[in-house]
A and B are shown apart, each in its own frame.
Chain A
Amino acid sequence: MNNMIIGKYVPGDSLIHRLDPRTKLLLMFIYVFIVFLANNEWTYGVLTFFTCALLFLSRIKLSFIIKGLKPVLWVIVFTFLLHVLFTKEGNIVFQWLGIEVYDKAIQQGAFISLRFLLLIVVTTLLTLTTTPIEVTDGMESLLSPLKKWNIPVHELALMMSISLRFIPTLMEETEKIMKAQMARGVDFASGPLSERMKAMTALLVPLFISAFKRAEELAVAMEVRGYRGGNGRTKWRELTWRGIDTAFMILLGFLAIVLWLLRS
């Protein structure tokens, strides 16, 4: 569980860290679409270069990202193999035990795995360089036009930021309770099913109780301090859109155009 890096924030002061969260959200959102523009060596090359540049600018250690991506790596390998084995286009490259592998299949498999990898790297990069609070602030700001249609944007953002805020706390709590029960002879890793069920109760009951208690305390604490929804509420952290953010959006538009021109 500790190896998962998706959803974890790595503190830093790089260019990417300092971008407005809205820029990063838009960047990610648009990126998800323009990835699909790529369909040949050139376009994938440009896209990979762009992604690597983002990685470089974020100043996050490459080894850290590679290690964190390990859990999804097998999905990528699996996708690749699936394509290689089942696409039957182009010329046969080799034949073995009745399995025929075509050159187009290898190419397609490689492209699709690469697309997958790029998408994951970019979304991971967003969460690695943006605090959850910034993400929700950004979301709230981007979605605020929806308020016109009575969509409770502020409340949704608040729910999201509270849940994000409590994920680490709950993880910590889980670890603590697991340790306490392990000290009482619980074995979470092995044993017959009935004992494992018991082990899960010994973990989940205290976890739920503490979560409910926390929720209640939080609600009381918010009410005591006069919280009553989003109307007229000002923000302590104001988002500021700077020149560099505009520059990044232009760069992204430029990337889209290049991809459009280069695709076959």
Chain B
Amino acid sequence: MDIVFRDVEHRYQINTPFEKRALYDIHMDIRNGSYVAVVGHTGSGKSTLLQHLNGLLQPTKGTVHLGKYTITAGKKEKHLKSLRKKVGIVFQFPEHQLFEETVEKDICFGPMNFGMSEQEAKARVGEWLALVGLPEEVRHKSPFALSGGQMRRVAIAGVLAMNPEVLVLDEPTAGLDPRGRKEMMDMFAQLQRRKGMTIVLVTHSMEEAARYADDIIVMHQGTIVRRGAPEHIFRHVDDLIGLGLDVPETVLFQRAIEQKFGVQFHAPCLTIEDVIKNLQTLFTRVKRI
């Protein structure tokens, strides 16, 4: 589904002395099937933005269009449950949402809430476990007997099991080991490519944003300040640093090489693979001379 935000504002605890404007002036479009990364300094409003994607938060001003659903400030919305079936959210530290006696039951909880039969859900648990890289043995264990990283995977499996059209991820890999991170991120990218899932990812890792996203949204103090393809966003290194962000190591490396040797890479280095490719062309060029 296409996602469109029009002039969205969100204030927490509106009309109290604790009122806090966490979002304002948000205009954005997310095309069906795209992979969007949202980056920004801590407290810039990323999580608040995400919660508007399935009606957990209602804008205090403006309108959010989610496919055929429209959420407008000040109007009671009724069809939230069917919307939530279509937009799955993996929250920050999703392992805190586990509660069932067994991993199997916890994973089946979401799909069964949305109307899947118990048999079907149970029959598919193996598939979901495999998707998040967990062995079949954990199925009948208590989720609380698992390691933190494994719990995280169970929680993510519980959201994937709802088979959403849009998958919203709030720092899903924070605290995982590097290998686990990569596996997880590759899995999300595959869901996008193979199943056409729309993915919205919040991350503090510029490397992840650069490698996986088609589009990057940069947030700063409650609003969107930059929006564009990674090649475009990471061209402005100082700009990002000024916003309290970082750029991928590879971009810094590229900049250092270019300055030191007075050369120009023919493409931006967003990933290690880009660096290798660029260096190879550079070397062949040098050899020829």
Residues of chain A having any CB pair with chain B under 8 Å: 2, 10, 60-61, 64, 67, 173, 176-177, 179-187, 201-202, 205-206, 209-210
Q: Which 3 A-B pairs have the closest CB atoms?
A: A185-B113, A205-B99, A180-B97
A6 CB → nearest B CB, Å: 14
Q: Could you say which residues of chain A place their CB within 8 Å of the CB of B59?
A: none
Contact B96 A176 (CB under 8 A): yes
Q: B46 interface residue, CB < 8 Å from A?
A: no
Contact A183 B89 (CB under 8 A): yes
B93-125 contacts to A, CB under 8 A, are: 94, 96-99, 109-110, 113-114
Q: Could you say which residues of chain B place their CB within 8 Å of the CB of A184?
A: 84, 97, 109-110, 113, 158-159, 162
Contact B91 A183 (CB under 8 A): yes
Q: Could you say which residues of chain B place their CB within 8 Å of the CB of A202?
A: 97, 99, 109
Q: Could you say which residues of chain B place their CB within 8 Å of the CB of A201?
A: 99
Q: Could you say which residues of chain B place their CB within 8 Å of the CB of A179?
A: 51, 56, 91
Given A177-B97, A209-B144, answer yes or no on A183-B54 (Cβ-Cβ < 8 Å): yes
Known: A185-B81, A206-B98. 5 other contacts (CB 8 A): A183-B159, A184-B109, A185-B110, A185-B113, A209-B144
Q: Could you say which residues of chain A place their CB within 8 Å of the CB of B162?
A: 184-185
Q: B259 interface residue, CB < 8 Å from A?
A: no
B274 CB → nearest A CB, Å: 36
Assembly CA distance A209 to B142 (angstroms): 13
Assembly CA distance A201 to B89 (angstroms): 20
Q: B139 interface residue, CB < 8 Å from A?
A: no
Contact A183 B84 (CB under 8 A): yes
Q: Could you say which residues of chain B place their CB within 8 Å of the CB of A2?
A: 13, 16
A–B pairs, 26, beta carbons within 8 Å: A2-B13, A61-B17, A67-B16, A176-B91, A177-B97, A179-B91, A180-B89, A180-B91, A180-B96, A181-B97, A182-B84, A183-B56, A184-B109, A184-B110, A184-B158, A184-B159, A185-B81, A185-B84, A185-B110, A185-B113, A186-B113, A187-B81, A202-B99, A202-B109, A206-B99, A209-B144
Assembly CA distance A181 to B15 (angstroms): 27
Task: Please give me the residue from chain A that is nearest to B87 by CB atom.
Answer: A183
Q: Could you say which residues of chain B place their CB within 8 Å of the CB of A173?
A: 96
Contact B114 A185 (CB under 8 A): yes
Assembly CA distance A186 to B110 (angstroms): 8
Task: Please give me the residue from chain B that is nearest to A8 by CB atom.
Answer: B18
Task: Please give me the residue from chain A that is nearest to B155 by CB atom.
Answer: A180
Task: Please give me the residue from chain B that is nearest to A63 by CB atom.
Answer: B15
Q: Could you say which residues of chain B place their CB within 8 Å of the CB of A209?
A: 144
Q: Could you say which residues of chain B place their CB within 8 Å of the CB of A67?
A: 15-16
Q: B88 interface residue, CB < 8 Å from A?
A: yes
Task: Please give me the residue from chain A that is nearest to B158 by CB atom.
Answer: A184
Given A10-B17, A176-B91, A180-B91, answer yes or no on A206-B158 (Cβ-Cβ < 8 Å): no
A45 CB → nearest B CB, Å: 30
Contact B91 A64 (CB under 8 A): no
